Amino acid sequence: MDRRAFLADSLGAAAATGLPPPGSELTPPGRGGAVGTTHLFELRDGLRSLYQFDDAYGGASVRSLAVRHLRRVRRVINTSRFPDTIGRQLQLLAGETAEHVAWLSYDADDQDAARRYWGEALATATMLRDAGLETLVLASLSLQANHEGRPRDGLDFARAAQDRAKGLGSPVLQSLIASREARALSLLQDGPAARSRLADSMRLIDRQDRGRPAPDWAVFHGHAELDYAHGLMFTEIGHYPAAVQFMRAALAHQDRTYGRNRALYRLTLARALIDAGEVDEGSAFAVESIEYVEEVESTRVMNRLAEVTGRLRSVDTVSARDAAEKLSEYAHSREAAA
């Protein structure tokens, strides 16, 4: 995929939503270089557009935009005049943008960069004593720890995030964190505890109209994510038919605006089908998923594609061999075009 063409398409999508791209010009400062609410709103809209780019297309090509947006916010903080109330909001925005750069680095599988930016975001949250940003960073660190094979750390981070989230009054947020606790528990091979926390997470999501709304970064969490979490849990404990059932439900429930997640879900379902012995269906589904993978730029998605290819190569059937060859050819062509 041509990255310049991809980025141009992404910026076009931003324009279609009515949101300003992160690189657009800010309203000129007032007298003496003063900035105010208008500038803050423009900078926050830039971050919001980055969230939308990432949801639709994945993080690989969006990350450079996010880094530039973070530099812009920092420049405004360090070269402009503003009242303390605006200053606090600018610092919070810098922390939130650093967290998003970390997330995009995680999606690009640049874990060292992700750790560095999450550290910056957590330092900002601590300085501001902002429970919302602390919760976001701790929940993200839990996700990374689980990904890196450190589930005990993942569980500790998730429980720390849950402790911060209690005062925020959002059932959706508490549900999301409970699902990350469950992921860590399943990786620790504690199936009963994992199922219990997922049940808690389901109850919380069903009570979402009784508390405060979810923060912007958590609005993706819902029944699709919980179906996916159930599928991953059953995969970890070796109940592959159950994993297939939940992965099918996750894909059916997933909002089409989340292009990267749809590609990831499809490949994860293909993997579950192969693990469950449904090799012909898994092979066909994996090949059909290529057109969805083509729409996104995400190292996590490409890593999952490689996992599925490896599974297919371990199975001695005609359909598996043919599918593995097609997936491998696609991956090589994509690498060559990068």
Tell me the C-alpha distance between 272 and 287, whole Å.
Answer: 14
Res 262: pLDDT: 93
Res 15: pLDDT: 40
Check if the beta carbon of residue 101 is closer than 8 Å to that of residue 70. Answer: yes
Res 22: pLDDT: 53
Q: How far is CA 279 from CA 167, 252, 288, 321, in A?
A: 47, 21, 14, 11
Nearest to 123 by CA among 133, 132, 112: 133
Tell me the C-alpha distance between 55 and 47, whole Å.
Answer: 13
| Residuewise pLDDT in 10s, the chain (338 residues) | 344 444 444 444 444 434 445 555 555 555 555 678 888 999 999 999 999 999 889 888 799 999 999 999 999 999 988 999 999 999 999 999 999 999 999 999 999 999 999 999 999 999 999 999 999 999 999 999 999 999 999 999 999 999 999 999 999 999 999 999 999 999 999 999 999 999 999 999 988 778 898 888 888 899 999 999 999 999 988 999 999 999 999 999 988 888 999 999 999 999 999 999 999 999 999 999 999 999 999 999 999 999 999 999 999 899 999 999 999 999 999 988 87
Q: Which domains does the chain have, with CATH numbers?
A: 130-221 (1.25.40.10)
The structure tokens listed for 305 are 């594609």
The structure tokens listed for 310 are 């490896």
